[in-house]
Chain A
Amino acid sequence: MAVEPQPDALSSEAAADYTLFSWRCSKCHSISRPLNSGIDSDEYWRLYVAKMRRQPGSGISAEDSVAILRFLHRYSIEQRRKKELRLGVSPPEPDASSPTGTP
């Protein structure tokens, strides 16, 4: 079975961000592309979401990209935490605040 972030297990804001991400980012490709990309840098996500927003008919407005980046920021923290656990490194305290910079 596909394992996606479960909106029920997230806070209401996080669930709303994930839902918007899944709507917008599955229009032209499956959401596995971003989720499995291995990218965990806020700055790179900022550039990448801006690039996707410019795709013809993307439907990703500036307003949407703020929520999408907020989701990707949280997702990246989780990915980094899992990676560090795999490597046996003590994970730092997660910072779930919004990423700096807006698209």
Chain B
Amino acid sequence: MRVRVLLWVVLASAVAALLSRRAANADEERTFAGSAQLDYHLVASEPAAVAAPGPGTTFEGFTLETAVKTAVDISEHLSANVKVCFGCHGFELDMAYFDFRVVDELNLRFGRFSPSFGAFNLRHDPANHMTSDKPLPYDMGRMLRKGDWNNGVLPSPFPTNGVEVNGTHWIGNVAQLDYAAYAVMGFKNDTDPNPTDFNFQESHLPYYLTSDPRPESGSRLALTVKTGGAADMTLGASGLFGTYDPENRLTYAIVGGDYTLRIQHTALRMEYLVRRQEFDTSNPDIFKYAIAPAGGDFFAKHGAYVEVEQPFTEALDVLGRIDGMYRVGNVSNVPVGSGNETPELSPMTYRSSVVRETLALAYSFERNFRLKGSVELWEFSYADADGRETELSFHLGAVGSF
């Protein structure tokens, strides 16, 4: 505890000293930005369970996401970023890191940040995407039946502590090659006696010391090619690997590929992710199915989305998206983080899927203020407690940024 307090004091002092020094020296080298989104989610089919861990859990009603960020360029080679957000997890330190850039091709990042994975995470702030929610593979809490699925494949953002080496190299004026490699604390489940999945709430806790000493490691490689003055496309691949239990026995691996084509302001985006994750089978009673003697100790969760974003006028943008997830593997009857020792029968099956079709509009009243509305049709492969496989939901939100 004393070490933790000392580290807090040292970190806070360093940030305060840095900010005060910059304020005294050069205000123009500091930027301050922020955003806030208020969204109302209406589920036409009136979900039975709301906002508590457990099968069928669905948020319905208002949600608020807000964040403020400060970026300080200390020199041409050193910069610092601090971002604090407020959402479902309360106050969260989304980023607090330094970048030490030797050259464009070699940058050392250390502190707390979301490691480089996939294409979406760069746009995860609600001011930077046209829908109120995120694509299903990156969903963090807004999907219907999130308790069944324990959110997306890789809920975004995923801040964690560690170090990343990254860089970018331009080949003439036509191609940009990006890479990143990192070692970070990663995802956890230290609380469940028989871990079967990540505890995302716990993974977001700002640990300084952890009972899991082995870091998660990963990398990303992406190539952007300009195919004309107004068009470019990016092809990327990402992967990460780690363990998530205190004994470092249970492994997980997430790999993904992404493609983005942008022609003027029109964007076509697609991503695919899959997570293979081992779970603790020492208590077979918590599982819905008998443990298979071979290959019965893991599940695979696939997720993908395809979306097209098209401005209709200077103020109105339209987005169409199809996304979904497919999970294969045994099913735990104990929801992650529920503390429920009495298993309930999960409605999910050995092979479960969900497909969602979204039509969204975003209208900018002012340069920094946008209304968002969307309608979503959900098709699950399994019925809920009321026998429904198809559901309809609506979002109406407003987002402002500065």
Q: Residues on A close to B: CB < 8 A? A: 1-4, 20, 22-23, 26-33, 35-37, 39, 41, 43-44, 47-48, 51, 54-59, 61-64
Chain B residues, CB < 8 A from A64: 173
* A54 adjacent to B168 (CB under 8 Å): yes
Is the CB–CB distance between B168 and A2 below 8 Å? no
Residue of A nearest to B71 (CB): A51
- Chain A CB within 10 A, most for which of B28, B116, B174, B265: B28
User: Is the Cβ of A36 less than 8 Å from the Cβ of B260?
Assistant: no
Instruction: Name the residue of chain A whose CB is nearest to the CB of B130.
Output: A30
B247, CB-defined interface residue at 8 Å: no
Residue in A closest to B230 when the chains form the complex, CB atoms:
A23
- Contacts A56-B222, A57-B119 hold; do A26 and B265 have CB atoms under 8 A apart? yes
Q: Which of A20, A30, A43, A62 contacts B127 (CB 8 A)?
A: A30
Within 8 Å of chain A (Cβ to Cβ): is B346?
Answer: no
Least CB separation from B101: chain A residue: A54
Q: Is B122 in the interface zone, CB < 8 Å from A?
A: yes
A66 to B264, alpha carbons, bound, how many Å? Answer: 19
Instruction: Output the least CB separation between B214 and chain A (Å).
Output: 27
- Please list the 4 inter-chain residue pairs (A to B) with the smallest Cβ-Cβ separation, ordered nearest first: A61-B173, A56-B178, A32-B367, A59-B232
CB of B8 closer than 8 Å to a CB of A: no
B-chain residues with CB within 8 Å of residue A33 when the two chains form the complex: 33, 401
**CA–CA, A47 to B367, complex, Å?**
24
| Residue tally, chain B, CB below 8 Å to A | 50
On chain A, the residues within 8 Å of B260 by CB distance are 57
- CB-based contact A29/B127 at 8 Å: yes
Q: CA–CA, A41 to B349, complex, Å?
A: 59
Whether B128 and A1, one on each chain, are in contact in the complex, defined by CB atoms closer than 8 angstroms, is no
In the complex the two chains form, is B127's CB within 8 Å of A57's CB? no
Residues of B within 8 Å of A54, CB to CB, are 101, 104, 107, 168
Residue of A nearest to B258 (CB): A57
Contact of A59 (CB < 8 Å), options: B31, B262, B315: B262
**A63 near B173 (CB under 8 angstroms)?**
yes
B residues neighboring A (CB under 8 Å): 28-29, 31, 33, 73, 76, 79, 101, 104, 107, 116, 119, 122-123, 125, 127-128, 166, 168, 170, 172-174, 176, 178, 180, 220, 222, 224, 226, 229-230, 232, 234, 236, 260, 262, 264-265, 267, 314-315, 364-368, 370, 401-402
A2 in contact with B119 (CB, 8 Å): no
Known: A1-B315, A2-B365. 15 other contacts (CB 8 A): A1-B364, A22-B265, A23-B262, A28-B128, A31-B367, A36-B368, A37-B31, A43-B28, A54-B104, A54-B168, A56-B116, A57-B119, A59-B262, A61-B173, A62-B173
- A32 nearest CB neighbor, chain B only: B367
Alpha-carbon distance A33/B128, docked complex (angstroms): 10
Report the Cα distance A99→B180, complex, angstroms. 33
Q: Could you tell me the distance between the alpha carbons of A43 and B20 in the complex, rounded to whole angstroms?
A: 22
CB <8 Å contact, A35 and B367: yes
Listed by A's residue number, 23 A-B pairs whose Cβ atoms lie within 8 Å are: A1-B365, A20-B229, A23-B262, A28-B123, A29-B125, A29-B127, A29-B128, A30-B401, A32-B367, A35-B367, A36-B368, A36-B402, A37-B33, A43-B28, A44-B29, A47-B29, A47-B76, A51-B73, A55-B168, A56-B178, A57-B119, A57-B176, A59-B234
A61 CA to B176 CA, complexed, in Å: 8
Neighbour of B122 across the interface among A3, A23, A55, CB < 8 A: A55
